[in-house]
Amino acid sequence: MKYKRDPELIRNVLGKKIQFILGDIAIVYGGLLAGCSFFGGYPITPASEVTEGMARMLPRVKGTYMQMEDEIGSIASVIGASWGGAKAMTATSGPGFSLMMENYGFAAMTETPCVIVNVQRTGPSTGQPTLGAQGDMMQAKWGTHGDFEAIALAPSNVQECMDFTVEAFNLAEKYRNPVCVMADGEIGHLRERVVIPDEKDLKIINRVPATIDKKKFIPFTSSQTRNSKVPDFPTFGTGYHTYVTGLTHNEKGFPATDKQPDHEKLVKRITTKITDDLDKLTNVEKLYLDDAKTVFVTYGATARPAESAMEMARAKGKKIGMLRLKLIWPFPYKEIQKLASKVDEIIVPEMNLGQIVHPVREYAEGQCKIVSAPKIGGEMHLPHELYKYLEGK
């Protein structure tokens, strides 16, 4: 149904300003606050609570919730809804994320704003459905075929589940790209205190609609009204008669599949529209980096035991610090380079066999020692397990 964001209605449905809720539900809250008006989902542990929360709340704010027939249908409906003018999202976990990969690339190629939440569980395959992991971090970047630029955020607590979902919508709308919220089963199923931001403190970005003369409008080129590589959005039904295709297309949107320059021009624009803004996008938390000689580079749930291990070590006078990546993709390589130039060692704890340690190595190699600290099997690192990496420092 045609939707208009109604802050009063949304806040009425969300309830009290301070609540003690599940990470998955905080994602629902974030979506509602951002003005999400379409959710297409499919049940999957440990993301089902997002889908259930949307089923309860979205109709009450006059948005549309649909349980689709599978995850391929979920992401497809989300992309369709976005072209119909909705801010749209879906939520899933590993197996569903794998199913979404083709249309994830379609969203990137067609410059469709949308949000995909992945509450990660262990894999490969069905793995451990109820247990958390961080095994899909590289899939968010490389999972679909061909060249594109991913945008992905990784929440470390329940408050961030809400805040990063709002942020994911903002980035999706600003860059006209799919944006992933790479949560994990640990955070998704954790209950914590959250504070719902007041309307005046909420930053909401909406896509720039096409407004110029219909005959002069060019749908797939740098904006004709702003200094931006992101084109203005010709919502279906507004008379722009836009043809949207996953085929390599020219500026008019028409298939242009047999010439090298057409493809290069398109793909370079849709990737550099994001990477050009790396400095603006970079979002990290720095703890004790002024004096630290050994540093954890962390993200998501793993940041929590790493922070505890760091505090244990600092209590004993060790010079330990932490760099927490809130935005994983595009990779904040400048922060890693800066860090590597002043520390002796970077330790990368992850709930996988070593994924984000690879780009860390790519940018820090030769400048400091890089250690991967993996743990798999659906259990978080315990602080003392990570502390072991700090002994002798």
Residues that bind another protein (CB under 8 A): 1-3, 12-16, 19, 25, 37-38, 40, 53, 56-57, 59-60, 62, 64, 66, 68-70, 72-74, 76-86, 88, 102-103, 106, 234, 236-247, 252, 254-255
Residue recorded with tokens 């490969």 = 124
Give min distance, CB of 206 to another protein, in A. 14
Looking at the Cβ atoms of 24 and 335, the one nearer to another protein is: 24
Give min distance, CB of 4 to another protein, in A. 12
Left, alpha or beta for 15 (phi > 0: left; psi -120 to 50: alpha)? left
Looking at the Cβ atoms of 49 and 350, the one nearer to another protein is: 49
Beta strands at 369-374 and 320-325: parallel, antiparallel or unpaired: unpaired
Give min distance, CB of 127 to another protein, in A. 24
Rounded Cα–Cα distance for residues 24 and 341 (Å): 38
Looking at the Cβ atoms of 66 and 131, the one nearer to another protein is: 66
DSSP string, 149-203: --EEE--SSHHHHHHHHHHHHHHHHHHTSEEEEEEEHHHHT-EEEEEPPPGGG--
Looking at the Cβ atoms of 237 and 317, the one nearer to another protein is: 237
Q: In angstroms, how far is CA 382 from the centroid of its own chain?
A: 26
CB proximity list for 102: less than 8 A, separation 6 or greater? 72, 144, 145
Looking at the Cβ atoms of 68 and 322, the one nearer to another protein is: 68
In the chain, what is the straight-line distance between the N-terminal and C-terminal CA atoms, in Å?
A: 60
Q: In angstroms, how far is CA 84 from the centroid of its own chain?
A: 22
Rounded Cα–Cα distance for residues 34 and 5 (Å): 9
Looking at the Cβ atoms of 69 and 276, the one nearer to another protein is: 69
Rounded Cα–Cα distance for residues 69 and 53 (Å): 18
Looking at the Cβ atoms of 245 and 308, the one nearer to another protein is: 245
Give min distance, CB of 36 to another protein, in A. 11
Residue 247 CB neighbour total at 10 angstroms:
11
Contact predicate 95/165, CB 8 Å: no
Give min distance, CB of 361 to another protein, in A. 34
Give min distance, CB of 314 to another protein, in A. 39
Looking at the Cβ atoms of 35 and 305, the one nearer to another protein is: 35
Residue among 116, 105, 128, 21 nearest 74 (CA): 116
Give min distance, CB of 38 to another protein, in A. 6
- φ/ψ of residue 310, rounded to 5: -65, -45
Give min distance, CB of 85 to another protein, in A. 5
Beta strands at 151-153 and 327-329: parallel, antiparallel or unpaired: antiparallel
Looking at the Cβ atoms of 72 and 284, the one nearer to another protein is: 72
Give min distance, CB of 233 to another protein, in A. 12
